[in-house]
Amino acid sequence: MAKLETALNKGAFIRASVWLGISVAAIGLAVLAGWALGLESLTVLIPGHVSMKANTAVSFICIGTALSTLTVYGGKGTSAPVIFARALALVAVSLGALNALEYAAGIDFGIDQMLFTDPQVTAQSPYPGRMSPVTALNFVLFGVALYYHSDDRKLAVVNALTAVAGAFSLLGVISALYGAIPLVPLARYTNIAVHTSIAFVLMFLGIIFSRPGYGIMKVVSDEGAAGLLARRLLPAVIALEISTGWFRLYLRDRDLVTREYGAALTTLVNLCFVVGFFVLAARALKRSEDELREHRERLEELVDERTAELTVTNEHLMAEARERRLAEKDLIKSEERFRLMVKAVKDYAIVMLDPDGNIASWNEGAERIKGYTSSEAIGRHFSCFYPAGDRDAGKPARELELVALAGRYEDEGYRVRKDGSAFWANVVITALKDDDGGLRGFLKVTRDITERKKAEDAVRRINEELELRVAERTSQLTSANKELEAFCYSVSHDLRSPLRSIDGFSQAVLEDYEDKLDDQGRDCLHRVRAASQRMGQLIDDLLKLSRVTRGEMQRESVDLSAVARKAAEGLSETQAGRQVELIVQDGLSVDGDPQLLRVVMDNLIGNAWKFTSKHASARIEVGGTVKDGRQAYFVRDDGSGFDMAYSDKLFGPFQRLHAVTDFPGTGIGLATVQRIIARHGGKVWAEGAVEKGATFYFTIGQDVPAILKEAA
């Protein structure tokens, strides 16, 4: 119950006002329907009493609808619903005023039975269809109160009119309860119907509920102890007074007690009710005080908790403030160091510009490079450093626009000193923006790179000269290659023909005249043939050497292990009787020209095969290793070897360390190997000892894979 009473706030009263207005309008509609359908149970609430007239029902519909509308829309302004509601209030005022005028002037305006014919003519209703004078007065009072419902300046008038009309309404209800007749002066007029009085009471409550913040409702709607007491006592007091009055009449009408004893009994009942009400009110106040004390204690706890939280927060804030002050001090020191550093820089002109391009700061480097002192430069526009042509073309302004958009701009070009001399500068301009992205200015760093520019120009001229020399040298090499090709053609065709003739005729002499020649003559012819054949072999080797240096390389991945095995197989087929152990490491792969690398392996393995021929059994090994941080490949044998003192002659054309009679050959093979390896960007070298074998190493111009370095 207490919770329900506490919930009666202002919003609840306003909602109640709307429903009370709807109820009043519903009563009017029900009575009007009773007149239309001839249902006396709707027009006369209590048999024997007067009926509610049709114009009374219409007036109730008007004021009930007006009350609900004005309460919902606030009653203010000139909106259509508000204008409509005020018009309905004026209709009720007009009907009430016309009926009152009919009573006062004795005039019948013809409005009493305008809607329906009233057959009831009694002492209580001498004028058929006409509302009672009290009803007419109430409609005037309630109508005027509704018209000025939302005018705060006339609120006192509205409350007074509503109170008077409410008093008349309550009088009618109480009179009906007590069975009383109207006041003597009004006896000759139409009496007020019971449900008319009830509707007026509802209307009175609806109007005062619609403004809960004013008058007596300001106290009733209060959520404190005063409001709670008013909401409990007012209904009880009203019910008590009505009940005791009825009880007193009941005793008097039945002569159950004397007048004096009846008054004493009525007083006792009143005292009991009043004491009971005050006890209930005291209990309610006690509960309110207890709840208030609990709320106060809880509030104190919350205040203590919040105070503790605020204390902790305050400590944190103070710590943050101390840290911020320290950070600000550090920032000031850092800015001071930066300012001193910038000021001390002499090789760079470091200048701050405002958003319009005017100079805001100036360091010693700027003074040294550009010739202006700080007082002369600050405030000037930075375009003063540009040549006149660039200024006329709008280059400085365009650069600032680009920096504002991109954030950074770099340029190299001529700039002008104070004395008018020009220098070649590298300029970097950076936009300075705040945390919100707003442009605060620009940082411009200029470096005098005139000497570097001169050096670059000198290098460019040297490069151009070198390119001319390279072109000339290329032309010379092209001519030399053409001459070499011609020479090779001559060697291949012109020199071979005489050699073939010498060899052929020597063979013919031996075949035709062998029996006519002595041993010395036959030996001389054999020597001639051997020399011509050797000369032919030399020509072939020279042609191969020239092709190695001239041909275009076709690089691809080459399986060096497979190439080595194939070269050894060819040698084994020519000398099947030799005992040679060949060991080839698997997975040897290089990036190079497959034809040239085949020539390399043929020559190196051929050399190993040749120089192990004096031994009954031989061992030839092909593998890979790491030398000086690079991948290297080797061919090793256990043959005759060589003296390391003559190792520099190994790779020269026609250079031999062994006699031809011991090991045949022309001395071109290793020279060919050296040139092929050189074309692959590598190098070749040999290690050995006499009768302890030799090892030939070569690289192909690539770094060692990491796995080979770890293995090494």
pLDDT at 85: 85
Rounded to 10 deg, the angle between the 496-513 and 519-550 helix axes is 160
Residue 425's DSSP bridge partners are 413, 448
pLDDT at 187: 40
Tell me the fold of 453-551. Answer: Helix Hairpins (1.10.287)
pLDDT at 383: 87
What is the tens place of the pLDDT at every residue in 506-544? 766 767 766 777 777 767 766 676 666 656 655 665 565
pLDDT at 4: 40
> Within the chain, which residues score under 50 in pLDDT?
1-8, 123, 181-188, 703-712
Residues 100, 123 contacting (CB under 8 angstroms): no
pLDDT at 615: 79
pLDDT at 385: 87
Residues 76, 150 contacting (CB under 8 angstroms): yes
Instruction: Please name which of 631, 558, 623 lies closest in space to residue 595, comparing C-alpha atoms.
Output: 558
User: What one-character DSSP code corresponds to residue 516?
Assistant: G
Rounded to 10 deg, the angle between the 259-344 and 225-253 helix axes is 170
**Domain edges within the chain:** 2-223, 224-321, 345-448, 453-551, 554-711
Residues 92, 145 contacting (CB under 8 angstroms): no
Interatomic CA distance for residues 599 and 174, integer angstroms:
138
Tell me the fold of 554-711. Answer: Heat Shock Protein 90 (3.30.565)
Residues 620, 608 contacting (CB under 8 angstroms): yes
Tell me the fold of 345-448. Answer: Beta-Lactamase (3.30.450)
Task: Give, in order, the Cα–Cα distances in Å from 264 to each of 249, 261, 271.
Answer: 14, 5, 10
Interatomic CA distance for residues 316 and 235, integer angstroms:
57
